[in-house]
Chain A
Amino acid sequence: MKSRVLVVTSGKGGVGKTTTTANLGTALAMMGKKVVLLDTDIGLRNLDVVMGLENRIVFDIVDVVNAKCKLKQALIRDKRFDGLCLLPAAQTKDKSAVTPHQMKNLTNELRSDYDYILVDCPAGIEQGFRNAIAGADNAIVVATPEVSSVRDADRIVGLLEAAGLNKSRLIINRLRSKMVKRGDMMNIEDIIDILSIDLLGVVPEDEVIVISTNRGEPAVMDNTSRAGAAYRRIARRITGEDVPMFTLDDTNNFLDRFKKLLKLAK
């Protein structure tokens, strides 16, 4: 299989890039794929924490590009899944420690051993962003249903297009279906109308994410998590499977289904 480099980006901070990277990477690894997660948020690394691998870091991405260690030495194998690895960012340097050219070489080196290389992009549009997208084949844009997030995502899609990444796909994160139904939150159609890129998936708001992030266990490992289930479906879509989209009527409540049957509910 030809390996793919996917950059997870958003422009705005705090919309769930790192959570998305961790969960999609884990979900792909659960499907038996060989995955490496690449944290490019140098100076503000988080992906290792979310993956629960912080205490195993010896070398980082800056050591690799400066040839202080071999790439294989810096990669942290996740013992929970075969074929899941993390290349952590450095915490004591800043974004200028790596150049886009070095990133491109690094991702190309990883291509031979892995099916999916997921790059966790830092917030912003400066050098960290340019580094992260340098070696990418495609981008996954994460946006929450907020005007500010969609605005930044639009900017990012424009910059990605300018960099030659034309087939970006969108993940709408932290959607609250009840608020959308009340008309208090942007709905999926509004967001797609503005961004005009393909929708890869919708992840509902879920408290389990907070718990799993603190524990260092991605939510996809939790079978009761709705967000985890959404990420598993997105991972299947990434591999090319045709999985139906999440809809607003995601309740499995008996009364709701009964109402729907009688067409009492919308």
Chain B
Amino acid sequence: MAAVIKSKEGKMEINMQSCNTFAEMKDQLNAQLKSVGDFWLGGTVSIDTGYQVLSNKQLEEIQSILSRHGLNLQSNNSIVSKELTDSDNEISPFEQLPFYEDTMLICKSLRSGQRIVAEGNVVILGDVNPGAEIIAGGNIIIMGSLRGMVHAGAYGDDTALVSAYRLNPTQLRIGSHITRSPDGELIMIECPELARIRGGKVCIEKLKI
């Protein structure tokens, strides 16, 4: 389905809820803007991306497409951000995941000395042992024990998150932040956990789904 352009109080609003991937979103946007021509030249645009939350990098890309047609991006509305402002209800962190096109699925454990580098998200069906490394542009989900080093949002995305069935990393990096387990007695927490940046600090919280 195509993206829908409509006018709202003299502003252009583009609804892209129907787009499933970011690439599709960009294609649709290009096609639609070409069809409108320069009618809106110099105007501002708000885009509605539904359940997809765009990363800063992706917003920049959208902005550059718009500016090629002489338009400015005013705001990016998504259902998630609407819900966030509408109510204080706790929503699943996974609904706020920054959106990445590619996801690499690895169906084995990573052992010491093994290293995964991915542009987008990484999902591991297994453990990540000490000495193993994962570098991902997006989010990292580990369906097992995380004992090694992971870097989510490695290309500067501070909204990326790391989640593991057992989160005991030697070191955990998100965007430009680096943390490690506290010194002293090892605390074992017997539940899945999630790490993300809140208020400029890496926060570890219980995973609620």
Contact = CB atoms under 8 A, between A and B. Distances in A.
A-B complex is real: yes
A155 interface: yes
A6 to B, nearest CB: 21
A158 B115 CA distance: 11
A194 interface: yes
Contacts of B127: 194, 196
A151 interface: yes
B196 interface: no
Given A151-B130, A154-B131, A196 B109 contact: yes
Interface in A152-200: 152, 154-155, 157-159, 161, 193-194, 196
Contacts of B130: 151, 154, 194
B1 to A, nearest CB: 45
A155 to B, nearest CB: 4
Interface string B115-135: 000000000000101110000
B169 to A, nearest CB: 14
Interface string B91-105: 000000000000000
Contact of A158 (B112, B145, B147): B112
B114 interface: yes
B113 A155 contact: yes
B111 interface: yes
Interface residues of B, number: 11
Contacts of A159: 113
Contacts, number: 27
Nearest to A193: B145
Interface-central residue, B129, B131, B147, by most chain A CB under 10 Å: B129
Interface size class of A (residues with CB under 8 A): 10 to 19
Contacts of A151: 112, 130-131
Contacts of B114: 158
Nearest to B147: A194
Given A194-B129, A194-B147, A196-B127, A155 B109 contact: no
A196 B145 CA distance: 12
Interface string A57-80: 000000000000000000000000
Contacts of B131: 151, 154-155
Interface string B4-45: 000000000000000000000000000000000000000000
Nearest to A153: B112
A53 B127 CA distance: 44
Nearest to A162: B114
A251 B129 CA distance: 34
Contacts of A196: 109, 127
Nearest to A147: B130
A193 B188 CA distance: 15
Given A158-B113, A193-B145, 10 more contacts: A151-B112, A151-B130, A152-B112, A154-B129, A154-B130, A154-B131, A155-B111, A158-B111, A194-B130, A194-B147
Nearest first, the 9 closest Cβ-Cβ pairs linking A and B are A158-B111, A155-B112, A154-B112, A155-B113, A154-B111, A154-B129, A158-B114, A151-B112, A151-B131
